[in-house]
Structure 1
Amino acid sequence: MALLDKFSDDDLSYVATHRKASLFTRDVENSRDVLTERIGGKRLLILGGAGSIGASTLRELLKFRPHAVHVVDIGENPLAELTRDLRSQADIVLPPDLRFLPIDFGGPAMQRHLRDEPAYDHILHFAAHKHVRSEKDVPSLLQMLDTNVLKLDRFLRWLPLYGHEGAEIFAVSTDKAANPSSFMGASKRLMEHVLFDAGTQGATRRSTRFANVAFSNGSLPQAFLFRLARRQPLAAPDGSRRFFVSLRESGEICLLAACAAPAGHIAFPNLDPATNLRPLLEIAEGVLAHYGLKPAYYEDEAAAIRGVEADLARGHYPLIVTPLDTGGEKPYEEFVGAGESAAGIGLAELSGIPYAAYPVDLPAVIEELAALRDDVARDVTKRDVQQQLLRVVPGFRHAESERHLDQRA
Structure 2
Amino acid sequence: MPLHFNIEQFIGAHITYRSQSLFLPDMEAHAKRLQDEIKDKKVLIIGGAGTIGSSFIRALVRYNPGKLIVVDINENGLTELVRDCRSRTDLKLPSDFKTYPVNFSDNAFRKIFEHEGPFDIVANFAAHKHVRSEKDIFSIEAMIDNNVTRAKELLELLSKQPPKHFFCVSTDKAANPVNVMGASKKLMEEVILAYSEQMKITTARFANVAFSNGSLLAGFIERVLKQQPLSCPSDVKRFFVSPDESGQICLCACILGQSGEIFFPKLEESSMVNFSDVVKPFLKEMGFDAKSCASEEEAREATKDIKKGIYPVYFFSSNTSGEKLYEEFYTDEEELDLKTFGSFGIVKNAKRRKIDELDKVIQTLKQVFEDTKAEKKDIIAALNSMIPGFEHIETGINLDQKM
TM-score (norm 2): 0.94
Query: In the alignment, is the contact (CA less than 8 A) between 2:137 and 2:376 conserved in 1?
Result: yes
Q: Give the letter for the 1:120 counterpart.
A: F
Change (3 A) 1:104 1:345: farther
Unaligned runs of at least 5 residues, structure 1: none
Offset of residue 271 of structure 1: 0.5
Q: What residue number does 2:57 align with?
A: 58
Change (3 A) 1:168 1:216: same
Query: In the alignment, is the contact (CA less than 8 A) between 2:200 and 2:258 conserved in 1?
Result: no
Comparing 225-234 and 398-407, the one that deviates more: 225-234
The structure 2 residue matched to 1:7, chosen from 5, 8, 18, is 5
Q: What residue number does 1:114 align with?
A: 113
User: Structure 2: how far apart are the matches of 1:259 and 1:9?
Assistant: 28
The structure 1 residue matched to 2:198, chosen from 202, 210, 215, is 202
Query: In the alignment, is the contact (CA less than 8 A) between 1:299 and 1:321 conserved in 2?
Result: yes
User: Structure 1: how far apart are the matches of 2:60 and 2:94?
Assistant: 11
Q: Give the letter for the 2:178 counterpart.
A: S
Offset of residue 115 of structure 1: 2.6
User: Structure 2: how far apart are the matches of 1:74 and 1:350?
Assistant: 31
Unaligned runs of at least 5 residues, structure 2: none
> In the alignment, does 2:171 pair up with 1:174?
yes
Offset of residue 281 of structure 1: 1.0
SS of the aligned residue for 2:159 comes to helix
Q: What residue number does 1:150 align with?
A: 149
Query: In the alignment, is the contact (CA less than 8 A) between 1:178 and 1:338 conserved in 2?
Result: no
Offset of residue 47 of structure 1: 0.5
The structure 2 residue matched to 1:263, chosen from 259, 273, 281, is 259
Query: In the alignment, is the contact (CA less than 8 A) between 1:63 and 1:93 conserved in 2?
Result: yes
Query: In the comparison of the two structures, how many residue pairs are matched?
Result: 400
Give the aligned CA root-mean-square deviation in angstroms: 1.8
Alignment of 1:306-345 (within 5 A): 306-310=301-305, 313=308, 315-344=309-338
Query: In the alignment, is the contact (CA less than 8 A) between 2:201 and 2:258 conserved in 1?
Result: no
User: Structure 2: how far apart are the matches of 1:356 and 1:145?
Assistant: 20
Change (3 A) 1:300 1:90: closer
Query: In the alignment, is the contact (CA less than 8 A) between 2:208 and 2:241 conserved in 1?
Result: yes
The structure 2 residue matched to 1:380, chosen from 364, 374, 378, is 374
The structure 1 residue matched to 2:394, chosen from 384, 400, 408, is 400
> In the alignment, does 2:163 pair up with 1:160?
no
Q: What per-residue deviation string (whole Å, max 9, x for no partner) do you get for residues 157-199 of structure 1?
A: 11234xx12442101100111111110111111110111015x
Q: What residue number does 2:234 align with?
A: 238
> In the alignment, does 2:218 pair up with 1:222?
yes
> In the alignment, does 2:341 pair up with 1:347?
yes
Among all aligned residue pairs of Structure 1 and Structure 2, give the percentage whose two residues are the same amino acid: 38
Q: What per-residue deviation string (whole Å, max 9, x for no partner) do you get for residues 285-331 of structure 1?
A: 33123334332111211111111233652x43211111211000011
User: Structure 2: how far apart are the matches of 1:283 and 1:221?
Assistant: 8
Q: What residue number does 2:277 align with?
A: 282
Offset of residue 353 of structure 1: 0.4
SS of the aligned residue for 1:63 comes to helix
Q: What per-residue deviation string (whole Å, max 9, x for no partner) do you get for residues 375-398 of structure 1?
A: 3x6222122212332233211111
Q: What residue number does 2:137 align with?
A: 138
User: Structure 1: how far apart are the matches of 2:316 and 2:335?
Assistant: 35
Q: What per-residue deviation string (whole Å, max 9, x for no partner) do you get for residues 23-71 of structure 1?
A: 1111111110110111111111100001111111101110111111110
Comparing 12-21 and 64-73, the one that deviates more: 12-21
SS of the aligned residue for 1:295 comes to strand
Q: What per-residue deviation string (whole Å, max 9, x for no partner) do you get for residues 329-366 of structure 1?
A: 01111111242232126221010101441245422111
Offset of residue 89 of structure 1: 3.3
Offset of residue 139 of structure 1: 1.1
Q: What residue number does 2:72 align with?
A: 73
Q: What residue number does 2:292 align with?
A: 297
User: Structure 2: how far apart are the matches of 1:395 and 1:338?
Assistant: 11
Comparing 65-74 and 89-98, the one that deviates more: 89-98
Offset of residue 137 of structure 1: 1.5
Offset of residue 110 of structure 1: 1.6
SS of the aligned residue for 1:112 comes to helix
Q: What residue number does 1:186 align with?
A: 183
Q: Give the letter for the 1:33 counterpart.
A: K
Query: In the alignment, is the contact (CA less than 8 A) between 2:61 and 2:92 conserved in 1?
Result: yes
Query: In the alignment, is the contact (CA less than 8 A) between 1:359 and 1:392 conserved in 2?
Result: no
User: Structure 1: how far apart are the matches of 2:358 and 2:198?
Assistant: 20
Offset of residue 226 of structure 1: 1.3
